Amino acid sequence: MIVELWNTLLDLLPGDWELFKEWPFWRFLLLGLWLSAKIAGFAIVLSLIIGVLMSVARLAPLRPVRWAAATYVETFRATPLLLLMFFVFFGAGRVDASWLLNFPGGSSVVDDVGNLQPMPSAIVALTLYNSAVVAEIMRAGILSISRGIIEAGRALGLTYLQTMWHIAIPMTLRRMAPGIVSQLVTLFKDTSLASTISIEELLRRGRLIYETPRYSNAIEVLTVVALMYFIPCYILSLIAQRLEQSPDDRRGRGLRDRFAFLRGPRDA
């Protein structure tokens, strides 16, 4: 019943949607979405960790630490992501990383001769670029915190790192959540560039379908691919909205107060 309803709906749409009546095509694209999600997931975690560390290092009291962090951020932030991906993928071939084969799962990182595999190359490139951008977002958030709050933490006997970890970073993550999540959404969409280094992620699999001589419905395929990119990005946006809300908003009381005018004036 559901299949028949779905096929009828596709028949009502303008264009050629016949191939989307068959499960193998959906499975082919979903596997590409899963690969894109894996690449983005690893890169998001690493970008957040390295970005936070770089933001703290850029504000460190020691000048050499600030210089090293600034060099990292400015170098990778100013490098085009596609160029960075090429550089990591082809440049890693000159570095012998065969020692990684001695560790569990090493064969998924490097090949038999010690060259970096395409998927780890994409993760490294995405991490280098996005961690630099996240570091700048976090640094701006830390600088926006009242100086008195930081000085109060130091007055309590906290070290610089303890002040950053217990006070500055938690406040910054809440304050800069929209900007950080916006960058992570961009990161997820940038996984489409991984197709340039022979990774069959979502967009590449969509191209493989409509480039087949049997099919010529590029618009329909790209529309489905765009929707499959939209869903994870929208979920990330909802997470950002959730992080922005106060505890009262999460319990629903804040939202009721915002729309109290709909109930009209209260009786005296």
pLDDT in tens, 193-222: 998 888 888 999 988 888 877 776 788 888
Enter the pTM of the model: 0.81
Q: 240 falls in which pLDDT band (50, 70, 90)?
A: confident
Number of residues in the chain: 268
What is the structure's pLDDT at 8? 74
What is the structure's pLDDT at 261? 46
- 40, pLDDT greater than 70: yes
What is the structure's pLDDT at 7? 66
Query: Among 59-68, 93-102, 157-166, where is mean pLDDT lowest?
Result: 93-102
- 101, pLDDT greater than 70: no
Residue 251 lies in a domain: no
Residue 10 lies in a domain: no
Query: Among 30-44, 113-127, 191-205, 254-268, where is mean pLDDT lowest?
Result: 254-268
Task: Provide CB contacts within 8 A for 99, sequence distance 6+.
Answer: 114
Q: 99 falls in which pLDDT band (50, 70, 90)?
A: low
User: What's the average model confidence in pLDDT over 125-130?
Assistant: 94
What is the structure's pLDDT at 268? 42
- 33, pLDDT greater than 90: yes
Q: How crowded is residue 209: how many other Cβ atoms within 10 Å of its Cβ?
A: 20
* Tokens coding 34: 């899963």
Q: Which residue has the higher pLDDT, 15 or 129?
A: 129
Please say whether the beta carbons of 199 and 119 come within 8 A. Answer: yes
Residue 17 lies in a domain: no
- 11, pLDDT greater than 50: yes
- 184, pLDDT greater than 80: yes
Residue 116 lies in a domain: yes
Q: Which residue has the higher pLDDT, 145 or 213?
A: 145
Residue 14 lies in a domain: no
- 260, pLDDT greater than 90: no
Give the domain range for residue 202.
28-242
What is the structure's pLDDT at 109? 66
Question: What's 71's domain CATH number?
Answer: 1.10.3720.10
**What string of DSSP letters covers 170-233?**
HHHHHHTHHHHHHHHHHHHHHGGGGGGGT---HHHHHHHHHTSTT---HHHHHHHHHHHHHHHH
CA distance 228 to 100: 34
- 174, pLDDT greater than 50: yes
Residue 199 lies in a domain: yes
Dump pLDDT digits (tens) for 46-89: 999 999 999 989 988 889 999 999 999 999 999 999 999 998 88
- 250, pLDDT greater than 80: no
**Number of folded domains in the chain?**
1
Which has the closest alpha carbon to 160: 60, 65, 66, 70? Answer: 60
What is the structure's pLDDT at 76? 93
Percent of the chain's residues with pLDDT above 90: 29
Mean pLDDT (the chain, rounded): 80
Q: Give the position of tokens 């019943």.
A: 1
Residue 204 lies in a domain: yes
Percent of the chain's residues with pLDDT above 70: 77
Residue 63 lies in a domain: yes
